[in-house]
Structure 1
Amino acid sequence: MARAFNKKVCLRKFSPSDLVLRKVLRIARDSRGKFAYKYDRPFIVKEVFNGGAIILNDMDGNENALPVNVDALKKYYP
C-alpha cells in the first residue's frame, strides 16, 4: 500500500529565483470566511536549505528573516 501511495507523491523542488506563493495561516477569524485568500502574493526564492526550509524575498527585494517550510509553498506561474 505504501508503494502505491509513493508513486503518486510529487516532490517539490525549488531553486533560487523561482516565483512561489506562500500559504496564509489563519489565526484570527476573517470576515470573508471561505472566500478569503488561501495564498499570499508572489515571492522570490533566495536560498534553499537541505531540511526543506526556504528563505524568501518580496518582489521589491526585501528579505524575510524567518525561513519557510516547503509544505507552505507552491510554485507561481505568471
Structure 2
Amino acid sequence: TGNRNSTVQNEADYHWRKDPELGFFSHVVGNGRVMQVGPVNNGSWDVGGGWNAESYAAVELIESHSTKEEFMADYRLYIE
C-alpha cells in the first residue's frame, strides 16, 4: 500500500476519504483482517493504471508486517 507503518484500519480510513480519481480498490488485508472498502464487480483502478478496470475485486495488502509469520497469516487471507 506504500506505507510501511500503516495498519489495515489506517488504509481503510485513507481509502474512504481520498479522491477516487487517485485510484481505488475493493478490499484491504492486514493485521489478520480483510476489510471491504469499495464495491465489487464495479472495476478498480490501482497499481498505477487502468488495466484492472474490468476486474471483480482489487485487493491491497498492507506493508507493515514485522515478522514473516505475520505476513504469511495475512497472505493466506489475501489469497483466499
Same fold, TM-score > 0.5, yes or no: no
Quick check: which has more Rg, 1 or 2?
1
TM-score bin, normalised by smaller chain: under 0.3
> Greater share of helix residues, 1 or 2?
2
Provide TM-score, normalisation by structure 2: 0.23
